[in-house]
Amino acid sequence: MSQSLVKNLIHLTFSTKNREPFLAASIREGLHRYMAGILSDLDSPALTINSVADHTHALLNLSKNQALAQVVMEVKRGSSKWLKNQGPQLAPFHWQAGYAAFSMGQSGVPELKSYIGRQEEHHQGRSFQTELRALLKRYEMAFDERYLWD
């Protein structure tokens, strides 16, 4: 084969530091566009991005030429700078240090897009901590609760 064809679908999620509710509804659309731009620049286009007050989810197609950790660092760094410029109330903003990322098959994309799109509804009765624990168990990822939160 004369070319390399790769599709790395990744479900990425991370929260604000200490799950502080910094992500007001009024800034989320701009935040999502900004994050999508960063991902596009990294040749890792977003299929969908959505947030609630204390965390964000993205489904992206990770570039064959980029390491996931580097992409996440760039998205978090760039979006953090963007958020801090949205007003003095966001000056103390920080993302949590870590993140969770799950590989996806193409057949799961429609369901995941729907799940990500319904975050506001989904989190009316469920915290990010509960959601993340459920995702980690669903994907059979071992974790140590002592190091899960910051």
The continuous run of DSSP H or E covering 51 comes out as strand 46-52
Residue 42 lies in a domain: yes
pLDDT, residue 19, reads: 94
CA dihedral 25, 46, 71, 54 (to 10 degrees): 20
List the CATH number of the domain containing 20.
3.30.70.1290
Q: What is the pTM of this model?
A: 0.94
Domain hosting residue 101, numbered range: 8-147
Residue 34 lies in a domain: yes
DSSP per residue, 72-114:
HHHHHHHHHHHHHTT-GGGTT--B-S--EEEEE-GGGHHHHHH
The tally of domains found in the chain comes to 1
Residue 3 lies in a domain: no
pLDDT in tens, the chain (150 residues): 789 999 999 999 999 999 999 999 999 999 999 999 999 999 999 999 999 999 999 999 999 999 999 999 999 999 999 999 999 999 999 999 999 999 999 999 999 999 999 998 888 888 999 999 999 999 999 998 888 887
pLDDT, residue 149, reads: 81
